[in-house]
Amino acid sequence: MANLGPGRPRLEQRRRQGTTPRAEILDAAAELFTTKGYANTSTRAVADAVGIRQASLYHHFAAKDDILDALLAETVAGPVELAQRMRPEPDAAVAKLYALALADVRQLRTARWNLGALYLLPELRTERFAAFRRRRDELREHYELLAAESAAAAERSDDAKILPFRMVETVIGIRSDEGAAPADTERLIPDAIVRIVGHGAEIARVRTAAEELLTRLGEAAAEPDRVRQREVGGELA
C-alpha cells in the first residue's frame, strides 16, 4: 500500500503539471511510460523527472506497477462513470451511445499523454492488473449494451455491437502514428457509430440530443471552445 505521508523535501522547484506531488509523479510517469517505454523507465527516472528523491516517490506509490495501475484507471474511470449516470436518463439509447462515444473520444484525444497506448503492455495480462481489465471490460459492456439497444430500435441485427468500443479506441492508434488526433474525430467517430447501429438518417438529431445530454450531466461545460468551433463549422451529417 502507498504511504500518503509528505515524504522528504523535493530536490528543486516544481516543474510538473499537477496540484499535488502525487499528480506530478503521475504526469512524469505518463510521459516516460509513453515515450521511453514502461520497461525502460525506473522509479528513479520518474522521481528525477519530478525533481524529488526516489524515497519520496515511495511515500505515494509502493512500486512502479502501482503508478501504471493509477494511470490506466484514469483512462476508463470517466467514461464508466458517465455510462452509469446515463442509464436512468430518459434519452434514446442511440443518443446515449453517441454521448458516451463523444466524451470518450474527447478524453482520449485531448489527454496530455496517450495513455491508451499502454493497453498493449504484456504486464497488463498478469493478475496484478486484473481489476483494471475488469473495469475496461465494464466500459466495453456499456458500449455493447447501448449499441444493441440502438440497433433494436432501428430494427437491425446487433451483430455490430462489438464495433463502437473498438472504433473509439482507434484514437489511441491515431495518436501513436500521427502524434495527435484531429479535432474532427470527436464528430466523425460518433457519427460513424450511429450509422453502424442503423440510425444514419438521424445523425444530426442524435448528435444534438447527445450534446444536450452531456450538457445536462455537466460533461460538456469544460469544452466551450470546441463547442463554438463545431457551431461555426456547421452540420456534417
- From CA 180, how far away is CA 174, in angstroms rounded? 7
**To which H or E segment does residue 175 belong?**
helix 170-178
Q: What percent of the chain has a predicted confidence (pLDDT) above 70?
A: 85
**Intra-chain end-to-end CA distance of the chain, in Å:** 50
Q: pLDDT tens digits, residue range 110-139?
A: 999 999 999 999 999 999 999 999 999 999
> Mean pLDDT over residues 156-166, rounded?
96
pLDDT, residue 219, reads 73
Helix 170-178 vs helix 93-110: crossing angle, to nearest 10? 20
